[in-house]
Structure 1
Amino acid sequence: MTRASTPPILLQLQTAESLSTQATALRSLKNETIGHDQRKETWVRNGIIPILSKVLVSRQPTPQSSGLNGATKDIEDPGSHGDADEACLQAIIILGSLAQGGAAFLAPILASGVLSTLLTILSTPDCPSSFVLPILRTLNNIADRLPLQSQQHWPKDTRLADLLFSNEHIGCLSRIIGRDYDTHNDLAAIELATALIGKLCTEEAHKAVLADCGVLDALAVKVASFVVAQGFVLPGAETHVHESGALGSLPAPAPPTAKLAPILRAITVIIEHSKWRAEHFLSSPGIVTVFPKQMPDFAPSDIKKGPWGSTYFSGSAVPRHAGASPLEYLLPSVPLSPGKATPSAANFPPLGPHGSSHRRHSQSFPTPFSIFEAPASDEDENAVVPWLLYIVRAENGMARLMAARLATVLFRLGLTKKHRVSMFCYLLIPILIRMLDKNYETANVDGVQYGGLVPSTERLREEAPAVLATLVIDDQELQKHAVEGEAIKRLSQLLKETYNPVPENRRPMWHAEGDQTFDDSDTLPVECKLGQAGYSPIHCHVMRYRENILKALAALVPFKDEYRKSVCEAGVVPYIIDSLKPCSDDPSGDTASPKNTAADGNPTPTLLAACGAARMLTRSVSVLRTSLIDAGVATPLFVLIRHPDIEVQIAATSVICNLALDFSPMKEAIISAEILPVLCEHAHSSNTKLRIESLWALKHVAYNSTNDVKIKIIEGLEPGWIKEVITQDPTTALAKRGMDEEMENGAGGGMNRANSAGEQVDLLNPVEDSQGRDEDSKMADSLPPSKMSLEMFLPDVTRRRKLALHGDIDQSTQARQDDIAVQEQTFDLLRNLICGQGASEMIDHLFKEIGQDVVLDALADKLRPRTIHIPNRRDSTSQKPLQVPTEILVAVTYVIIHLAAGLPWHRQLLVSHRDLLRYLIGYFNHAQRDVRTNCVWVVINLTYEDDSSDRDGCRERAFKLRSIGVIDRLATLEDDPDLDVRERTKTAQHLVNSLTHA
């Protein structure tokens, strides 16, 4: 069936001879399309998006205005500029309306390139104010629907984010967010711009750009305006507003109608996972202005006046404690945990800054603090933290949740005082658990819709588990309070409910003439073809809800077996296993109906969260042997390990690591299911995380397995690959890291390198100002009339360079740690290959396949002491010793222990090697007790007499050890603080002495 003829409005647009005619036609088209998805589909197929793109392109400033059909007009009508703006405005509104049609309309919009034109218009200094809100609404409409089309894929579609956060367009965000709350339009524009950041900013590169280009500082000023409006500016802040780094004046207060939640969300997504960006936010001019750093005070009698008028401190001057932030007094007192208080401490702290001082020695075994305790070793905490906690108590709805999320992120990044743990236990956790209740929002709704396609009540319920997960992870005290608050019971019930079919109101689009109407769709250009219908908003909400619940359950149970058993008793394990089933790759199904049952599968983010929950449960032997086996945990994991997404492969492999442990009944299933070849293949992956997890799993499989399984692992990994890994020098990278640390501390002369933004950064003086970079502190865009200048939102050179440098150091340090971990796991695998039954045969096989000299030389090289030359110092011969990573030392010495437990000729090889034992001697007094213990075990194994036939060999090895100074080294360990080291030392001394004195 042929397609219908061109509609009259479209003909009118194509043949319009004046801008006013074009504007009229577009206005009619707008009225035709808004609220009518069928008409939108027809218009897209008829080519309306390219026409809208041309209209928008014509709005871009040029020396002369172009005519509609390519002719240039030398003389414009007086009203032509107004007509052009009207036509452009109507085109923007129509584009936003098309985006509201659903995910299917995103494909032609993204393919047309019209978004780049929209952002160009928004970024121009002369962008009409009437365009700003429609453009921002259109961009938000598209951002809301991007997850609907890409929910099952990973990573997400970042084309819009790449455009918005590019150097070309990101300045418009600073300009818009930097406006004062003068009018309703300004308020709406600020909230729409911040909402875009919250929806689109998921990539690390985008977060770094937003911090570097002043958007984060602009958001900080908005936070400051809320602080001013609430009257929480610290006393005396007015006297510091003109100091370096401050705004120069207090920002105007935010109006009552302004929303705080979008601001806090945008800040959180930018700074999470980066301590440097978080510190960048805390040191921004807006925060420094309202929350200046409190300086120690001195008594007047301590300040003396010199004979020339200068002042100085007396010899007995002691700074008086500045006291807790005034905001602390707005927070409730919290009790110390039972049994933790000292005899002189009350259950509730006094209303003042004094109190007993305690430290949390580790995150795993925390010691609680009373509210005002501030250990001397704690860094100064910014007043933002108590202000956020006050917001958590005073506000409700999304503002409360976002304040809790930001406070949690700062806590996880180590930017809060340690005593906050106690406050989080008694303040944040009960509120977050309460948010899991179905009736929570009915009593606590703030009456505000925060954008997106899901009601704010559902959005709040969806995100609360994720905040709870971030808060309690790795902290046993927080986990204890959450479990006692019945978090596991509530989360388990909620996970079950995510599998209940969800009623869906949306219906497939109906066509009067059936599917034959557009039989020629294959011949249409991409900007005229609709994409897949995508998933419904409620479906994506349920999937994200399920994902966050799984994250919360995983975060609650990593340390306590009783918590893992509580999860099993809640009957939720089968639902966790169901969450390991992926969605079908066939997009042709009906995506309009609910797809949240176990048979429908899960998108990639949910799979990752389910793997995390399963991994935590596999830490329990009893759970692994009962509930997980009964639920069939291995079957979906064996599918996921072959998943096309590499992040899913990594997550599934991390679970298989625990399933492959020697006590696990799943170990034989892993071997029989032909998973070993997959693990060996993944060990060769270019992705370092996948390599580490695969080697870790192979290490567990190899332990106590038969030799044929071990040989299969060696063949799968390939001897040449093993040789390449173990012969790499781990200290080459560490030498570079040592150089970076020296440079960061300002030692030596100058040295430049490129940062992540491609700029040259002086590593030796990373935070020094440079007059040659003054132009970097300015932006080309001009700011509309405002009380504050745009320049204040672009970080000064010092802060920008510090941010870029630390970002680069974080990335390079992580890469080096990953390389070390790969080598560590490889040596651990060799250790497990040559231990247990048939160990001697495996040692011979390893020597044959890799090379006897290669293995021994690699072990010796890891023990070799190293130094590095420090360049650019006055003393050109300065040398710095480099320490071999402790992880490598432990792994290597374990391999030597097992070689020393082999046949007599294996032991003789170790003793006769020119360097190995000589280098080993240098580690008998290593700071790590495992290294010291292993060194002693090597001596024991080399001198232990298996049978009488080896007595002469043992004596010869004992004399060799004595000759290189082992007896003296053992003597230094007789009083070692570790009992195991002392006991092993006695055994080694006895063996060596009995053989050499016989």
Structure 2
Amino acid sequence: MTRAAPPILLQLQNPDSISSQVACLRALKNELIGHDQRKETYVAAGIISALARVLESRWPGKPTTSESHGSTPRQVTASFQTSDDLDACLQAILIVGSLAQGGPTFLAPIFASEVIPMLLSILSSPDCPQCFCLPILRLLNTIADRLPLQSQDQWPRDTRLADSVFAPETVGVIRRIIAQDYEQPGSQTCIELAAALIGKLCTEEIHKTTLAECGVLDALAVKIASFIVGQGESSSGARGSGRIPPAAPESARLAPILRAVTVIIEQSKWRAEHFLSSPGIVTVFPRHIPGFAPADMRRGPWGGTYFSGSAVPRNSGANPVDSLLPSVPMTNAKSPSSLANFPPLGNSAPQLILSPPPFSLTDTSSPEEEENSIVPWLLCIIRSEAGMARLMAARLVTVLFRLGLAKKHRVSMFSYLLVPILIRMLDKDFRVPDEPGANYDGLITPTQRLKEEAPAVLANLVMDDQELQKHAVDGNALKRLSQLLKETYNPVSESARPMWYSEGDAPVRDPETLSGDRRLGPPGYSPTLCHVMRYRESILKALAALVPFKDEYRKLVCENGVVPYIIDSLKPRPSDAPVDAVSAPKNTAADGNPTPTLLAACGAARMLTRSVSVLRTSLIDAGVAQPLFTLIKHPDLEVQIAATSAICNLALDFSPMKEAIISGDIIPILCEHAHSSYTKLRIESLWALKHVVYNTPNDTKMKVIEALGPAWIRQVISQDPVSALARRGLEEETDHTTGIAMGRANSAGEQIDILNPMEDSSESAEQFEMSDAMPPSKMSLDKFLPDARRRHKLVLHGNLEQSTQSRQDDIAVQEQTFDLLRNIICGAGAAEMIDFLFEKIGQDGLLDALADNLRPRTIQLPHRRESSSGALHVPHEILIAASAVIIHIAAGTTRHRQLLIGHGDLLRSLAGYFNHSNREVRVSCVWVIINLIYEDDPSDREACRERASRLKALGITDRLNSLQEDSDLDIKERTKTAIHLLSQLSAP
């Protein structure tokens, strides 16, 4: 081969006629298929730019600007003048697809050209032929499958394809493809390819939001509804209404639809609720409303209605789909031994659960949110389907459960129906049945694809739930996962061989010599090695999710001999690694790991470091500290955060590695990260520093203060994010109540008051109404797509979610800073450190900041007929952290106590929290009083009397008396001590 441009390429660039150009394109396609060496030669010669010119010259027109929210273009493009024009474009698309099949090395020139924007422009056209739609979608999926794994400098995180596909001006075509009827010719494959593209590319929050707001999520919901209708499991009321979507054909694949829905709604309750409330889902699974007979209703003299004393609903509130599921025992994490034998034998069977408990007018327990029938339907799919459809159903139902959209009693069903299935997928002999079209990319087998994803689904399911963790461990999950992690370090056998080049014929990669569309990129990992890395990442996630609470589980991981492999997974791929990764796929610890695997390994290491015994033995023997010390300087921000989070546990007082953190150069790095503009990194760094300074010599504490900067500390503890964010919320008109709660989200992720706007009941009742003006056979699928009201509600909730997270992060930074100061001024030499803080931060500055954080806040409420203001409740996290600093200052010298007593606002503000709902706030208030009036020695008695007198003048005695009958025993005992001390000081 020579470096000169091949003759066929010259002929393509200067064709005699359109027919000759088509002939050249066909010949070129046949020459390139399966021959990577020729592909490299043609790319260096400019084949990609030539193909882009073919598409631009032969495509008859370009669509105009799309409507808002990614709708399809208004202008109708011209049709092809000749069939040769159409054939030329089609052959060019196929050749680009063939180039992309070559792997990551060919993606760089493709991205550098105008090919992808041109293809998306063609696909977005209303006149795009079906013969173009299919190959373009295949091409986009091919590129998505071959995107290199993120790994330090060589392969940074690449979202260029996702940014293009999910851009507002092009995302409308994705919705249009998914929304088309299955019965249209070729539509089934296009629908599945479009859904698969979402599942592979949609990782960024902005893309997920765009897909939800632009109607793609609603279109996917219609497709799921079609499968429900096809299986005959929709509600009887829906089947009789004539409004249901058409049934999906038997050959249609459910897995890509479920995957697309899952990736969009993950980590967002609002998007999940938007999916569950979409017209497609609500049509097949209407909301269940307990009905009452007309005789049960009474009309009162005031004109209102009420239930009679004997009112009983006509139905029990049971979910009809639950009848398709088997009965499982009600389990209790505290007493699981009673369920050792299942199914139960004899007459001593435990309580079984088949459906939700019946409706009761006398039930005073806190009501759960109504559960959509799609939850039990997904469980039915898990039991009846196989392969990826089963796994994706498990993934979706797990996401809904984690977002609080499945009832609590589902834990029992997950324990007995879902956990065993996921553990079975970890077996070596597990195989996925052959399914036509189940593997579009062909890089790895469907069985490999399922195995690399199953551990991550198990991890998400058992996370934060001890009952599910116990069932997984009892099912031998830890032993299986440990063995699988070891096997991911087995040498990888590759069929690929490095290509031979004659002297001087190697592909040119010098960025100075070629333009971007002629420059080959790094080859990346081979497909097999990519699978191994993803598999390793998924296994590490599962191990981390199974061991956060039980020390016996962490010890079991160590007994399985897997700790050294976790440490090896913390090592990144070297920046100076050979460019040709395919030529030497060793798969050893020295070869390192891509960024996603590093993140999962940091999570596993963090969970193991929670155990004192494991930290002092297995982890220190395996050398866990050094890889983490390296990763906090990693160029990727997420890796820095994950490594810092693990180092937090290494810095604990009992850790043998704390001295290594202090003696090394880790403290300056942590202080530098505490100044980061990324809030998560600031929080984790401050958390680690908080542990570092506890019980350490004063010179180390002083170095931390100097490195952080006294001015920076003063700024953090003096800020007031509560009022600022409350005003922002009011400006968005999200709430009009007089009491504005500023606490964190509850366990279900719900926000209250300002962060949870009241929903108009009339809107709730009307938003799912669907007219039936046309016969069901002619109903358009647009009937099931979003209206402006639902889209506006989704946008509003999304903005609230972001504001809430931002506020919580700001509160966490301030809380950790106060905790850091608390640990600095406690222990031996505390008085010296209090004086040091007063000197550096400023005596008045520190005390004023503490007083300001305790001070009650009000905010003027807008849009009121009369002037009014609302109370802002200071987050209890800030109250606890600030009062802890006061407690330790009060434990200092007499002079320090006098400064607290002498401050005008500090104790006056604190007095308002003695009856706070949070017990830690109440007990902190009592501790402040005890430390202020505690007599260190006889010389301090007169000063103690003076302080006691001042406290009485502030009404502290009455506050303490109100706590003598507190429900918390610790508070009652501390209160007795405080009252006793005050009584002694009042005695003559």
Q: TM-score, length-normalised on structure 1? A: 0.89
TM-superposed deviation, 1:299: 4.7
> Given the alignment of the two structures, is residue 295 of structure 1 paired with residue 274 of structure 2, yes or no?
no
Amino acid at match of 1:844: D
Tell me which amino acid in the other structure corresponds to 2:133: V
1:55-92: per-residue Cα shift (whole Å, max 9, x none)?
1112443499xxxxxxxxxxxxx995211101001000
How far did residue 282 of structure 1 move?
A: 0.9
Shift in CA distance, 292/769, structure 1 to aligned 2, threshold 3 Å: closer
For the 8 Å contact 1:692–1:822, the answer to whether it is kept is yes
Query: Which residue identity lines up with residue 892 of structure 2 in the other structure?
Result: G
The answer to whether residue 164 in structure 2 is matched with residue 163 in structure 1 is: yes
Distance 1:969 1:487, change over 3 A: same
Asked if 2 retains the 8 angstrom alpha-carbon contact of 1:767 and 1:801, the reply is: no
SS at match of 1:86: helix
Q: Does 1:217 align with 2:218?
A: yes
Percent identity between the aligned chains? 66
SS at match of 1:236: helix
Q: Which amino acid aligns with 1:637?
A: L
Deviation at 1:46, TM superposition (A): 1.2
In structure 1, the residue corresponding to 2:148 is in which secondary structure? helix
Q: For residue 767 of structure 1, report the CA deviation from its aligned partner.
A: 7.6
Q: Supply the AA of the counterpart residue of 1:701.
A: V
**Residue 753 of structure 1 aligns with which residue?**
none
Paired position in structure 1 for 2:556: 566
> Is 1:40–2:39 an aligned residue pair?
yes
Offset of 1:349 from its aligned partner? Answer: 2.9
**Match of residue 690 from structure 1:** 681
Q: More deviation in 677-686 or 737-746?
A: 737-746
Residue equivalent to 1:134: 135
Deviations 1:315-345 (CA, angstroms, capped at 9, x unpaired): 7443223442322111111012275899999
Pick aligned residue for 1:653 from 613, 630, 644: 644
> Alignment partner of 2:121: what SS?
helix
- Please tell me whether the aligned partners of residues 769 and 798 of structure 1 are also in contact (alpha carbons under 8 angstroms): no
The question of 1:968 aligning with 2:958 is answered yes
Question: Which amino acid is the alignment partner of residue 440 of structure 2?
Answer: G
Q: Which residue identity lines up with residue 680 of structure 1 in the other structure? A: C
Count of residue correspondences: 933
Aligned residue for 1:7?
A: 6
Counterpart residue number, 2:382: 392
How many Å separate the matches in 2 of 1:375 and 1:86? 68
Q: Which residue of 1 aligns with 2:369?
A: 379
Separation in structure 1 between the aligned mates of residue 292 and residue 609 of structure 2, nearest angstrom: 57
1:861 to 825, 847, 852: 852
Q: 1:612 aligns with which of 580, 598, 603?
A: 603
2:695 maps to 1:701: no
Deviations 1:807-857 (A, max 9, x none): 011111111111111111111111111111111111111111111111111
Give the equivalent residue in structure 1 for 2:523.
533
Amino acid aligned to 1:451 = Y
Question: Residues 375 and 16 from structure 1, CA distance in 2 versus in 1: closer, same or farther, beyond 3 angstroms?
Answer: farther
Q: Secondary structure at the match of 1:867?
A: strand
Which residue matches 1:735? 726
Partner of 2:247: 253
Question: Residue in 2 aligned with 1:801?
Answer: 792
Amino acid aligned to 2:876: T
Moved more, 317-326 or 971-980: 317-326
Give the structure 1 partner of residue 97 of structure 2. 96
Residues 524 and 234 of structure 1: CA distance in aligned 2, closer, same or farther (over 3 Å): same
**Match for residue 464 of structure 2?**
474
Show CA shifts across 1:709-753 (max 9, x none). 1111111101111111111124223533663797246899xxxxx
Instruction: Classify 1:518/1:729 alpha carbon distance in 2 versus 1 (closer, same or farther; 3 Å).
Output: closer
Give the SS at the match of 1:328. helix
- Aligned counterpart, 2:833: 842
TM-superposed CA distance for 1:448, in Å, is: 5.3
Q: How does 1:621-632 map to 2 (within 5 A)?
A: 621-632=612-623
Instruction: Evaluate the alpha carbon distance shift between residue 769 and residue 107 of structure 1 in structure 2; reply closer, same or farther with a 3 A threshold.
Output: farther
* Aligned positions of 1:782-797 closer than 5 A: 789=780, 791-792=782-783, 794-797=785-788
Q: Quick one: which amino acid aligns to residue 493 of structure 1?
A: Q
Contact map agreement 1:897 1:941 (CA 8 A) in 2: yes
Distance 1:873 1:931 in 2: 34
Asked if the contact 1:866/1:882 (under 8 Å) is kept, the reply is yes
- Change in Cα spacing, 1:793 to 1:852, as seen in structure 2 (3 Å) is same
The 10-residue stretch of structure 1 (449-458 or 293-302) with the greater mean CA deviation from structure 2: 293-302
1:498–1:542 CA contact under 8 A, matched in 2: yes
Q: Choose 590-599 or 736-745, whichever is displaced more.
A: 736-745
1:82-123 CA distances to partner (integer Å, 9 max, x unpaired)?
111010010000010010011111011000021000000010
Q: Which residue of 2 aligns with 1:990?
A: 980
Kindly indicate whether residue 398 of structure 2 is the aligned counterpart of residue 405 of structure 1: no
| Aligned residue type for 1:590 | D
Q: Which amino acid aligns with 1:894?
A: A
Whether the 8 Å CA contact 2:473–2:546 is kept in 1: the answer is yes
Cα distance in structure 2, aligned partners of 1:942 and 1:104: 70
Asked if 1:677 is matched to 2:668, the reply is yes
- Determine whether 1:324 maps to 2:324: no
CA distance in 2, matches of 1:482, 1:849: 53
Q: Which aligned pairs between 1:320-359 and structure 2 lie closer than 5 A?
A: 320-337=314-331, 339=335, 347-349=350-352
Deviates more, 1:215-224 or 1:153-162: 153-162
SS of 1:880's equivalent in the other structure is strand
Within a 5 Å distance, the mapping from 1:430-579 to structure 2 comes to: 430-441=420-431, 446=435, 449-452=438-441, 453-515=443-505, 518=508, 522-579=512-569
Q: 1:346, CA displacement in angstroms?
A: 5.1
Structure 2 equivalent of residue 758 of structure 1: none
Q: Deviations over 1:574-611 (max 9, x none)?
A: 11111111111125343003242111111111111111
Q: Which moved more, 1:199-208 or 1:862-871?
A: 862-871
Deviation at 1:982, TM superposition (A): 0.9
- Which segment is superposed worse, 499-508 or 512-521? 512-521
Structure 1 pair 839/331, CA: closer, same or farther in 2 (3 Å)? same
* Match of residue 343 from structure 2: none
Q: Relative to structure 1, is the Cα distance of residues 275 and 679 closer, same or farther in structure 2, using a 3 angstrom cutoff? A: same
**Alignment correspondent of 2:52:** 53
- Give, in whole Å, the separation in 2 of the partners of 1:79 and 1:674: 67
Which of 273, 277, 280 is equivalent to 1:279? Answer: 273
In the alignment, structure 1 residue 594 sits paired with structure 2 residue 594: no
Q: Distance in 2 between matches of 1:385 and 1:299?
A: 29
Aligned with 2:734: secondary structure? helix
CA distance in structure 1 between the aligned counterparts of 2:537 and 2:509, rounded to whole angstroms: 40
Q: Distance in 2 between matches of 1:324 and 1:813?
A: 35
Tell me how far apart the structure 2 counterparts of residues 151 and 853 of structure 1 sit (CA, whole Å).
47
Conserved? CA contact 2:12–2:24, under 8 Å = yes
8 Å CA contact retained: 1:228, 1:290? yes
User: Equivalents in 2 of 1:186, 1:300: separation in Å?
Assistant: 49
Residue of structure 1 equivalent to 2:572:
582
**2:380 counterpart SS class:** helix
Offset from partner CA, 1:410-433 (integer Å, 9 cap, x none) = 000111111101000001000000
Cα deviation, 1:157-194, whole Å, max 9, x if unaligned, reads 11111111111111111111111122562111111111
SS in 2 for 1:881: strand
**Compared with structure 1, are the counterparts of its residues 376 and 346 closer, same or farther at alpha carbon in structure 2 (3 Å cutoff)?**
farther
Check 1:818–1:178 CA distance in 2 against 1; reply closer, same or farther (3 A cut): same
Tell me, in whole angstroms, the C-alpha distance in 2 between the residues paired with 1:975 and 1:61. 84
**Structure 1 contact 660–667 (Cα < 8 Å) conserved:** yes
What residue is the counterpart of 2:870 in the other structure?
A: 880
Q: Report deviation, 1:312.
A: 11
Which residue pairs with 2:968 in the alignment?
Answer: 978
Taking a change above 3 Å as real, the CA distance of residues 996 and 322 of structure 1, as seen in their structure-2 partners, is: closer
Structure 1 gaps of 5+ residues are: 65-77, 242-248, 306-310, 360-372, 749-761, 778-785
2: CA distance, partners of 1:148 / 1:582: 12
Residues of 1 paired with 2:534 and 2:861: CA distance? 51
Please list, as runs of the form range in 1=range in 2, the aligned pairs for 1:11-22 lying within 5 A after superposition: 11-22=10-21
* Partner amino acid, structure 2, of 1:430: P
- Contact 1:539–1:595 at 8 Å: present in 2 too? no
Cα distance change, pair 746–855 in 1 and its aligned pair in 2 (3 A): closer
Verify: 1:641 aligned to 2:629, yes or no.
Answer: no
TM-score (norm 2): 0.90
Work out the CA distance in 2 between the residues paired with 1:116 and 1:997.
Answer: 86
